[in-house]
Every structure is written in C-alpha cells, then in structure tokens.
Copies of this chain bind each other. A is one copy, B any other.
Amino acid sequence: MKKQLYVLRDILGTNQKVAAEIKAACEERGILVLNLMSSPGAGKTTLLEKLAERLAGRHRMAVIEGDIETERDAERIRAKGVPAWQITTGGACHLEARMIARVLPEVSPDIDFLFIENVGNLVCPAGYDLGERLRIVLLSSPEGDDKPKKYPKAFLTAQVLVITKSDLFPHLPFDVERAKSEALELNPGLQVFVISALTGEGLDDLTAFLVASREALRAGHA
C-alpha cells in the first residue's frame, strides 16, 4: 500500500500553520507546489492544459481547482488525463490552506507537480498562502498594462509573472514592456514569461523553468 501524501489533522490551525504543513509534506517528497492566481479568464486553466500536454510522459502532475461554482475547470483538466479535484467555494472569493488540506489526502504522493488554480480574483487570493513554493500571477494582455500597480499584492508576493494571450498584442493598446517594468518595479525578483496558448509562444520556456525549479527543489531535499 502506498504511503499517503498528507494526513488530515489540523484544519483548525491558522492558515499559515496549515500552509506550512502542506508545504513540508509535499516538499519532502520532492513535489513542487504552485499556486496560480489571476483575474477571471486570464487563462489559468488553459495554461494548465498546455502544461499537461508538455509534461505528459516525462512528469506527473495533479491539479486542485478552485472556483466559486461549477466543476468545469476540473473536467477540462481530467480530459487531459491529469487527476484533478474541484473545490467549489460556494461564494468565497479565494482558497485557504484548510481547503487544500481536505483534498490532499486523496492526492497521490507519486507526483512531481501539484498545481493549485485559485479562484479568479486578482485581489483576495494574494492574502492566503496555500503551501506553495511558487506563486504564479497571470496578467492577461487585454486587461491592460497598468494593472500591476493597481492590484499590487499579487505581483508583490509572486515569484513568477506570466503575461498571457500575446497573440492579441497586435489588436490591443497593450505595452508589454510597460507591464513588465511596472511589475518589476514592485517586485524586482519576478521571473517573467510572455505566452500565448494559441500560438505556443513562451510555453517551452515556462515548462523548462518549472522542470528546473522542481529539480532544484529535489536537489535541495536530496
């Protein structure tokens, strides 16, 4: 019988305490945990579909989906052959660590990546650590290049910025250099990727970065 990734025990602890337990349980098994946050419709689920295609056969991933309502996102991920759990918050505007802790006992310990897709909201999720090693904020180009300073917390607390829908650049008043420089002024340590799920731009670079980050985690715990 396989050992469990996580044994549920402390969902009454503070968010930070539960998040620390999730992080420890996953990282000691070499699992890279990622928390994806953005506005609704910035392309989080589509990015996960594309990463599933690129990681298939080489790496194992699982996804926890957070939404106010509907199972739609988990169904899209399962259609890619990736195990996915849907958390529907029933109105709550963000995920909390205890919601992840309730799902985690069902997740296989034999995975390399655990992606958590947060509720579509560029504000509230930034206040809640879910035990992730990498927080990825997505900025959809149609939202405009002025968003980092208007919604600073997600950009301040992330390690990775992914600017999405670059295929729309020719049709938008969007200055990608302005968006990058605003974000980097807030948080100079951000790793920035510019992608299009439609054309594939940037997806290989982002995949390589995630694989290397997971190798670094494993090496650190070897």
Contacts and interface: CB of A to CB of B under 8 A. Distances in A.
Contact of A122 (B121, B150, B171): B121
A124 interface: yes
A171 B172 CA distance: 11
B168 A67 contact: no
Interface in A89-145: 91, 93, 119-124, 140, 142-144
Given A69-B152, A121-B124, 8 more contacts: A40-B147, A41-B147, A68-B151, A72-B146, A72-B150, A121-B123, A140-B143, A168-B171
A180 interface: no
Across the A-B interface, the 6 shortest Cβ-Cβ residue pairs: A41-B143, A142-B142, A93-B123, A39-B39, A41-B144, A39-B40
Nearest to A94: B123
A165 B123 CA distance: 23
Contacts of A140: 41, 142-143
Contact of A70 (B69, B72, B142, B149): B149
A153 interface: yes
Contacts of A39: 39-41, 120, 122, 143
A167 interface: yes
Interface in A14-60: 39-42
Task: Give the oligomeric copy count.
Answer: 2
Contacts of A93: 93, 121, 123-124
A44 to B, nearest CB: 11
Contacts of A123: 68, 93, 119-121, 124
Nearest to A73: B150
Contacts of A142: 41, 140, 142, 165, 168
Q: Residue among A40, A93, A165 with the most chain B CB within 10 A?
A: A40
Contacts of A150: 40, 67-70, 72, 120
A152 B119 CA distance: 13
Contact of A143 (B40, B124, B153, B167): B40
24 contacts: A39-B39, A39-B40, A39-B122, A40-B122, A40-B143, A40-B144, A41-B140, A41-B142, A41-B144, A41-B147, A68-B150, A68-B153, A69-B149, A70-B150, A72-B150, A91-B153, A93-B124, A120-B123, A120-B151, A121-B121, A121-B123, A121-B124, A140-B143, A142-B168
